[in-house]
A and B are shown apart, each in its own frame.
Chain A
Amino acid sequence: MENNKKNNTNRKSSESKKIKRREVIKGLATIPVLGAFVYGWYKKHKFDRLLKQAIQGDINLDAVNPVINKNISKGKQIRIGIIGCGSRGRDLLKAAGFIHPEIIDNWKEEALKNKADKRYHDYLEQEDLNLIVNGVCDVFDINAEKGREAASNLNREGAGGKMGAKPRRYGTYKELLAANDIDAVIIATPDHWHGTMTIEAAKSGKHVYSEKPMTWTVPETYKVVKAVKDNNIVFQLGHQNRQNESYFKAKEAIKKNILGKINLIEVTTNRNSPNGAWVYNIPEEAGPGNIDWKQFIGPAPYHDFSLKRFFRWRCWWDYSTGISGDLFTHEYDAMNQILGLGIPDSAVSSGGIYYFKDGRTVPDVLQMAFEYPDRNFSLVYSASLASNKNRGRVIMGHDAYMEVGKDLKIYVDTGSTKYKKKLDDGIIDPSLPMYSFSPGMKQVDAITSPTEQYFAGRGLLYTYRGGKRVNTSHLHIKDWIDCIRDGTQPSCNINMGFEEAMTAHMGTIAYRENRKVFWDSDKQEIV
């Protein structure tokens, strides 16, 4: 009996032990999956790291964003005068910290409708450059008044806000340049005035920020250079793309010879709207009574008063430098900044007035080819004012090509010699960028997920990441002001301006005279 009982309890306890063990096994059954996960994770991580290292060895670009000049504008207040208060002139005033109250009201209203609209908020965050506008000049009364209103908006307020005193309006630019309470001038007039005004401003000892192109004619280009250098002023040409972060990275990539031997550079302009083709609105209230036509004409050939010519001056050679001076210069300056192009050996050009047959004399479709035989490459430019097909900006090398825009992308060429092994081994996929850079991202990454690439390419990351949009014109003006304060040279200085102007003139002459144009580098002349 006793034994039986004992046996029974023994059996029971061993059974319950078994059950317990089974229970534990069931409860922990899936834990090995976690082990497999950790192992898989480790393997994948190692693989990605090796891949990254393999490519980064070739790229060797810093994995950090370039730092933009961050010093705060201290020191003496700089007194500004502005010549030309049209839409671009007022844009520059805005970039300098003087915004027309109507824009503030408009932005506030838009921000209420659309929470994503951060323009008002971002503008308030724009650095105060410690400037004051003491003089305004415009040959059109309404623009002059708008300029004064913007200049008096010291606190970035809307209409009805507390304004400062409106600056004096000068009847002529010469009077403005003679003023004692102005240190530096912004020139945002039509092209035919840029050179003349810069020369006179330099002679009066004023620092100059001039809109592009630097000059309207070849002879005045030399005079501008001489005046700026003789008078030792700080000159900045208005190519605000000089402040684009992705260009800094592009320059670094070129320096490190990632693309191999460069043989072709392709730049384009793609526009398709009346506004893009310079057919601007003519204000109803404009007329001979409020426009100083004689002063507008200035160095240009005489023509009877014409509202069309006054407001759409870019369409006539009489005042304009056409697509070459107005639009190509931005593309050229971008490439000059990245590649240090200098003035080309020769230029040819073709095109015509194919779409906007509105009486204009400048072409609306234009092709130009510039040769750099010493560097063994060509620079090709193509523009249409009647097609939006986006053709980008590409630098082509034997081993890789680079697309430069707001973002920077480098793709390996399928025929590359340098990357052949990595292409064959499947380490590099030529359909995906080997390197991409979006300004504003926390850190540069050689390989990112396809999704990220996609968003980066569309600029989504740039616009919203970090929440701050930086206005390049503001940075460009800041660059100029900082240089005035510490006596250094800005990024788009007079030498850059000379190269920009001469290259653009070569293209224009090639088109207008229908011939191949050469640069005589010994004589520094276009022949």
Chain B
Amino acid sequence: MKSIKCTSFSTTQLFWLVALRVLIGWYFLYEGMVKLTNPNWSGVGYLLDSDGFLKEFYLSLANNHFLLKTVDLMNIWGLIAIGLGLILGAFSRIAIIAGIILLGLYYFSHPPFIGLKYSLPMEGSYLFVNKILIELAALVVLFVFPTSKEIGLDRFIFSRKEK
């Protein structure tokens, strides 16, 4: 995928793209911190509630102690790292890709397909498209329109390499 140089954005475009990046980052960071500070948190309930064509995969994660622990840890620290990456604009490309993968895993664990029912109550009404998918698409937009080398620590991190 060929990315656009951020220098070609107008100030307004740049502002809103950065705002989107920071908002999504905040959301990730907070989700991660909440899980980190709750000693009872585990993804097990969410995994066991999975449905759709990848159901077996998610159940196998829930039913293996070691895998479950790994999934829980990766979830917590993944969310925090992605959140920080997006807010600070540090290693944003990696953070965005990781975020897309994580959201993809969430989406396919509880896909809003016809006929699938979940114990976990949904806060809205969805058919195929839910908020996770939209958040995922927003991250793709951020990937295509990167901003961290203009506004963000990537400005310093990647400045020498690119010279």
A429 vs B87: C-alpha distance when bound (angstroms) = 34
In this complex, the member of A34, A116, A450, A452 whose beta carbon has the largest number of chain B beta carbons within 10 angstroms is: A34
Interface residues in A19-48 (C-beta closer than 8 Å to B) = 23, 26-31, 33-34, 37, 41, 45
Chain A min CB distance to B34 (Å): 8
For residue B153, CB closer than 8 A to chain A, the reply is: yes
Chain B min CB distance to A91 (Å): 26
A464 touches B44 (CB 8 A): yes
A116 touches B59 (CB 8 A): yes
For residue A465, CB closer than 8 A to chain B, the reply is: yes
A45 vs B156: C-alpha distance when bound (angstroms) = 34
B121 touches A454 (CB 8 A): yes
Point out residues on A near B: beta carbons under 8 Å.
23, 26-31, 33-34, 37, 41, 45, 115-116, 118, 441-443, 445, 448-452, 454-455, 458, 460-461, 464-465, 467
A33 touches B121 (CB 8 A): no
For residue B52, CB closer than 8 A to chain A, the reply is: no
A235 vs B29: C-alpha distance when bound (angstroms) = 58
A26 touches B119 (CB 8 A): no
Which residues of B have CB within 8 Å of A451? Answer: 45-46, 120
B155 touches A452 (CB 8 A): no
In this complex, the member of A27, A37, A445, A460 whose beta carbon has the largest number of chain B beta carbons within 10 angstroms is: A27
- With contact pairs A33-B22, A115-B63 given, residues A27 and B156 touching in the complex (Cβ less than 8 Å): yes
B40 touches A464 (CB 8 A): no
- With contact pairs A115-B59, A454-B119 given, residues A30 and B44 touching in the complex (Cβ less than 8 Å): no
Which residues of B have CB within 8 Å of A464? Answer: 44, 48, 62-63
Chain A min CB distance to B115 (Å): 21
* Contact indicator per residue, chain B 13-55, by CB within 8 Å of chain A (1) or not (0): 0000010001001100110010001111110111011000000
Q: How many A-B residue pairs have CB under 8 A?
A: 82
In this complex, the member of A37, A118, A467 whose beta carbon has the largest number of chain B beta carbons within 10 angstroms is: A37
A33 touches B40 (CB 8 A): no
A115 touches B60 (CB 8 A): yes
For residue B89, CB closer than 8 A to chain A, the reply is: yes
B48 touches A460 (CB 8 A): yes
A45 vs B38: C-alpha distance when bound (angstroms) = 11
21 contacts between A and B (CB under 8 A): A26-B155, A27-B151, A27-B152, A29-B151, A30-B18, A30-B87, A30-B89, A116-B63, A442-B39, A443-B40, A449-B38, A451-B46, A454-B119, A455-B45, A460-B44, A460-B45, A461-B44, A464-B48, A465-B42, A465-B44, A467-B65
Which residues of B have CB within 8 Å of A443? Answer: 39-40
- With contact pairs A30-B22, A31-B88 given, residues A458 and B65 touching in the complex (Cβ less than 8 Å): no
B29 touches A452 (CB 8 A): no
A448 touches B40 (CB 8 A): yes
A449 vs B63: C-alpha distance when bound (angstroms) = 23
Which residues of A have CB within 8 Å of B48? Answer: 460, 464
Name which residue of chain A comes closest to B14, CB basis: A26
Name which residue of chain A comes closest to B47, CB basis: A464
A451 vs B43: C-alpha distance when bound (angstroms) = 11
Which residues of B have CB within 8 Å of A118? Answer: 63
